[in-house]
Each structure stands twice: as C-alpha cells, then as structure tokens.
Structure 1
Amino acid sequence: MKKLGIVITDGVGFRNFVMSDFLSEATKEFDEIIVYSGLPESCYQNFNNSKLQIKELTVFNEGKITWAFRKWKEIGHLQKHKDFYGMNDNLVSGYPKGNTIRSLFIKSIYAFTKLLHTNSSILLAEKFQFLSFSRKKVTREYLEILKEDKPSHLFFTHQRPPYLAPFLYAAIQLKIPTSTFVFSWDNLASKGRMLGTFDYFLVWSKLMKEELLYFYPNVKSDEVKVVGTPQFEPYVLDKYKTTKENFITKFGLDPSKKIICYSCADVSIGPNDPIAIKAIAHAMRNKEIKEQTQLLVRTSPAEDDSRFRAILEEFPEIIWNVPKWVLTRENHQESWSQRIPSEEDIKDLRSLLENADLSVNMCSTMSLDFMLFDKPVINTVFGNLENGLYNDQRFLNYVHYKKVIDGNSVMIAKNSRELIEQINETFDNPEERTKERKAMIDLQIGQSLEGTSKRIAQVLSKL
C-alpha cells in the first residue's frame, strides 16, 4: 500500500498544499494520505475524503541545548556562505548588541564558526542537535505515530521550521524516505540552514536546483526534482475565479480609473511602507499622476492593518484590502505561522492581480504574482544608511532580487520623485517590459502553473 504522509507546517503551506489541487491529485497517486499538521486539526473541517486522515502534531518546544546546537548549525551555514550578500546581511543583523548570557553565548558561536564552518562541522552540529531531543517526550510520541502509521513516504511542505526537526528525526530513525519542498525563491541564497537532511528535494526551477546543489554539496543532482510551485496555482483554478464586476463592486472601485496596488511587507522589513503609500496618495491629490487613478493597498497577511490607521484617517480615499487570514493558535513560538488564508482572500488576491494596472511593492514575492499577469511592477526602496530610513535598499543586493533587477523586469524607485515619475512612465507604456517579465517568470518558476499539483503528486509517487 502506498501511503503518503504530508507535513503541513504553517498557513502558507496550508495555502499551497491544501487550498490548491494537491490533496485531490495526491489521492489519485496514493492509497492513503495522512496530513501531519502543525496547525490545529480544526483547520481541516471542510475536507472529507475516505483516503485522507488529519493528525495534529503536538507542538515541539525547543530546549536550550537543542537551541544552542541549532544556532551553531545555522550560524555556521551563514559563515560558510557569507560571500552572498543576503547570507552576510542575516549574519550581521543576527549578531547580538547586548551582553546578556544568551548574547555572549551567541557571540561565542560567531567567533567559533568564523574559524570553523566546514560542511562537515555544520553536519556535526546538526547531529548533536538531533541527539539533544532524541529522548524527549514529544520525539518518542512522533516515533510512535510513525511506527503505527507506517507511511511509505513523508513529504515536508517547508524545509526550514526548526520545530519540525524531531518529526524528521523520527522518520530518519524509522528509515522512512523523506522529501521537502523548498518554500520560497529567496530561501536558499539568503536564509539559514534547512531543518535537517532530507532524501529528496522539490524545487521551483532549474535555477533553484542549481542553488540547492551549491549550498548543500552532499545533495546529489538526481535527488532534486523541478516541479514548479503550487503557490501560484490558484491563479489558474476555476474555483478561485471571479468577475471584474464583482471585484469593482466589492472594493468600491471606479471602473473608469486606473488601479495602483501597493502591496505591503510586514512591519519587520516594511517600516517604509507608509512613506510610499503617502507619496502616491499625495501625488494623486495634487494631480501629479497623469491618469485618473485610485490606490488600493493590500496589507501583509502576517499582520493586521493597525499600523496604517493614521494613513486611513488622513487619506480616506485609499481603498484597503486586509487579507482574511485567521489566527488558529496563539502562544506559538512562531505565531505568524499559525495564520491560514480564507478562500475569500485567495479570490480577492487573484482578482486584484487580474484587474490592477500597476503593482508597487518593496522587493516582494508579489512582484512575481503580478508578473504572472503581465502587470508592470515598481519596487520602492526609499531607505539607506545615509537618510535615516529603514535600509531597504540593501535588499537590491540579495542574489534572488539582483536577478530581477538585472533582468530589467521591474523599475526601482529610491525616492518619492522617482516613484511618481515611474508611475507616469508605466501608464504611458505598460507593455514596455512584457518580454522581460515573461523571462523572469520562466527563470524563477520554471514550470507551467497548470497541472502543478498533479506534477508534484506524480513526482512524489515515484520517490
């Protein structure tokens, strides 16, 4: 019997692998599906299938010793690859400023790994990390679950969350083949180490495969499968399609005016969002934008709209789309991961992508979303080390985004004046970068959106 275990880590994994066609396609390839969920079981109330089981995993709380070995592993990985700007940026930003016991310990890891950060030393740190929780109650519980279920393959829908390491350890101990999906386009060249060592890897594109083989030299080429990503599959599924008329009515838009969409980051990297939003709003009021326009702001799914209340009061003409993501569990070590999207929000996002005339964002993955619909994109990066604003211009040096810039698929605005000029240029010639946008999609995604879930399910069935 072919039995697939699927580890759903967080809200984005839920969106990618539950709200796409993946589960229905997987049931065609496997006799039984068990979803091991890092989200509450109540999230799956509307999924009834005789082949499908949902099992909520007990949350693993990382102890101090485990944390110490994980930090060694992750910092060592960043030290090894600090020639990459994003890796070094995370390395520098993670260096403690204080002198608490915890801070001093982290500083000692920095000093140690600066001298020793070979691949074998990083794998040794991972070995000690896994040994440190091997006798924990939750690990024993995971072992019993997998012994009872006997999945023929265990698929992790995200490669990084450290609180899933004991579940991976349990699978390794029981010799259950494992695979993981590389979550996002920036993860390999700028983020920390994966949570552990998997047997197989599913990636977006040939580019991502090349990156994975570079950063993880123990991985063999035939262990990496290029499948595309289900992140964008809802844009070609009929169940998420709505009409332009519904979109216009729902958000109170004027069908005669152009729509500028500003997509916010979360507050940790998007503190300059209010500045860019106000720049556009002022320009609209002062008629500095040639076309008749309206501004729709979509906030980050990771937070509510509370930090924008002052803007809402000052510019009541701005239209807001606050993503309808529900917080399913509080007091989690990564609380943002426990937010899941509603079907309504996916429909809203797709409608926005289809009907907006221009995307403005701060170097976000939303740039790709809009490029899929051949919409012009302007990236705002107003801050640097000299002007006192949050330094978002540094993101232009991240490897994944340098490819976007070098490919000429977006425009870059470093201040309000440039932003308004570029908005006008874009409205004058919206098709100017169509060829470059398509090339960037082909590079970063690498597979057709149609049939993504089927492709992934078929690949997993052959592993």
Structure 2
Amino acid sequence: MSKEDFFKDYNLDISKKYICFSGDDITTCPDDQHYLNDVAEAVEELNRTGKYNLGIIFRRCPVDFSDRYDKVLEKHRNLIVSLAPEWKQLGSSWNATLPTKEDLKLQINTILYTEAVVNLASSMVFDYAVFDKPCLYLNYNVSNKEDENWNPQKVYNFVHFRSMPSGDEVIWLRSKEKIAFKLELALEDSRETVNGAKNWFEKINLFPAQNASERIWKEIEEIGNKCT
C-alpha cells in the first residue's frame, strides 16, 4: 500500500513517525503491558524535546485475547494506535488461531511504515532487518511485576538465542530510564545493528530467504514421489 492509503485506512497521523511495539503472549511476557507503558512514556519524553513527532503502533500477539493492555491504551490514547492482527479464531485454544492473507498485508505495511520495532525476544527482529530497520529488545524487570517468579532473562536463556553471533544484533533496553536514549539511537543511526541482525538471520536461515516457498514445495514434491 502507499503510505497515504495505509495511514488513511488505519487512522494514522501522516505527520508522525511511528514505532511498532510488538506484543508477546501472556506466558512469555506477563509484564508486557507495563513495558508498553514504559515505551509510551519514553516516546512522550522524546516528543517533548520538540525534535520528534512520534507515535506507537501496537501490534498485539495474535493469540493474546486478554484485556491487560486496555488501561495503557486508554491512558496513551493520543499516542498509541492499536492495529490488531487479522487472524482467524477457529477454536478456543491458542493453536486454533490462524493467520490470514489480510494480516500478511497488515504486517508488511506496518513494518514498511514504522521506523523500528520494540519487543521482548520476538523474531520480529528478522522481519524488520529485511526492511533495513532495527529491533530493540526489552530486558529489565518492571517495578510492578505481575509474577515475581518471572524475569526476562528466562526467555533470553532459551536455546535459540545462543545463535546470536555477538549480542549486538539488537539494541538492548536494560532499564526504563534508558528507553528514550536508546530509541533516539535507533532513529538516528542503526546501520551496524541492522547489519548484525541480517548476519544473525543468515546464520539461522537458508538463503536466499525469498525462495523459501519454492524450497518447501520442492520438498513436498519429493516426499510425495517417495510415497507413490
């Protein structure tokens, strides 16, 4: 979509630049709503300098149907626009919720027309790297924790994060107080971070990435031939 059509269809302010906050499910990140609030306050801090006119697009996890973000969205209603994923719910469990072609369009245009993505441990880092845009990973404990037994480091200790070549593939948000500063870094010059994310993507993915569908069909065809 053109920027003008996308902003018009989803009631976005054409005068603003947007940051995407990509939500996690409640098990992976029970404090996600507090992180969204912290990021919103940091964006407001940057806007007050007069140097920026920023907004936030909130894309919740497609299988998170909770109301835990409602208070934050209401509090920052002039800053945050919620664009819910257009997935189809075919059952009551999380694994019965499936993506649609319409959501692919929404996700691609969200990435195309936002400056960066903020999340906790999401693979959206690669979606943004493809578009030469940075990812900022949340990695601190909020003051009003929902679960005292949970902390973000539990997620970053998962085995798949061992594939990160150096740890510089994202911009780390290690405290609430540093979010505004790190966001400004992402907006001003993130080339090294993006290049690092692309190197990480090449490490875990067979390239060229755009031929993935072709490779899948080839494998299916080979499996089918063995079965005949």
| TM-score of the aligned structures, taking structure 2 as reference length | 0.85
- Answer yes or no: is the 8 Å Cα contact 2:129–2:198 preserved in 1: yes
Once residues 448 and 344 of structure 1 are traced to their aligned partners in structure 2, the CA distance between those partners, rounded to angstroms, is 25
Tell me what 1:275 maps to.
34
Once residues 356 and 400 of structure 1 are traced to their aligned partners in structure 2, the CA distance between those partners, rounded to angstroms, is 27
Q: How does 1:108-123 map onto structure 2 within 5 Å?
A: none
User: Which is higher, the Rg of structure 1 or of structure 2?
Assistant: 1
Please, which runs of 5 or more residues in structure 1 have no aligned partner? 1-241
Tell me what 2:177 maps to.
417
Once residues 304 and 434 of structure 1 are traced to their aligned partners in structure 2, the CA distance between those partners, rounded to angstroms, is 32
Inter-CA distance 262–415: structure 2 relative to 1 (3 Å threshold): same
* Residue 325 of structure 1 pairs with residue 87 of structure 2: yes
Tell me what 2:24 maps to.
265
* Residue 446 of structure 1 pairs with residue 206 of structure 2: yes
| Cα displacement (A) at 1:446 | 2.0
| Cα displacement (A) at 1:252 | 1.9
Please, which runs of 5 or more residues in structure 2 have no aligned partner? 224-228
Q: Percent identity?
A: 24
| Cα displacement (A) at 1:358 | 0.8
Aligned residue identity for 2:206: G
Once residues 362 and 380 of structure 1 are traced to their aligned partners in structure 2, the CA distance between those partners, rounded to angstroms, is 5
- Answer yes or no: is the 8 Å Cα contact 2:171–2:186 preserved in 1: no
Inter-CA distance 345–423: structure 2 relative to 1 (3 Å threshold): same
* Residue 404 of structure 1 pairs with residue 164 of structure 2: yes
Tell me what 2:72 maps to.
311
SS in structure 2 of the partner of residue 406 of structure 1: coil
Tell me what 1:364 maps to.
122
Once residues 295 and 274 of structure 1 are traced to their aligned partners in structure 2, the CA distance between those partners, rounded to angstroms, is 14
Pick which of 402-411 and 440-449 moved more.
Answer: 402-411
Inter-CA distance 293–305: structure 2 relative to 1 (3 Å threshold): farther
| Cα displacement (A) at 1:429 | 0.8
| Cα displacement (A) at 1:389 | 7.6
> Which residue among 79, 99, 105 is the counterpart of 1:341?
99
Greater length-normalized contact order (CA 8 Å, ≥ 6 residues apart) = 2
RMSD of aligned Cα (Å): 2.2
Tell me what 1:302 maps to.
63
Pick which of 282-291 and 267-276 moved more.
Answer: 282-291
Tell me what 2:112 maps to.
354
- Answer yes or no: is the 8 Å Cα contact 1:296–1:319 preserved in 2: yes
| Cα displacement (A) at 1:262 | 0.4
| Cα displacement (A) at 1:440 | 1.3
Aligned residue identity for 2:86: K
Aligned residue identity for 2:98: I
Tell me what 2:155 maps to.
395
Q: How does 1:132-211 map onto structure 2 within 5 Å?
A: none
Inter-CA distance 246–305: structure 2 relative to 1 (3 Å threshold): farther
Pick which of 319-328 and 303-312 moved more.
Answer: 303-312
- Answer yes or no: is the 8 Å Cα contact 2:125–2:197 preserved in 1: no
- Count matched residues: 216
Tell me what 2:52 maps to.
291
SS in structure 2 of the partner of residue 295 of structure 1: strand
Tell me what 2:218 maps to.
458
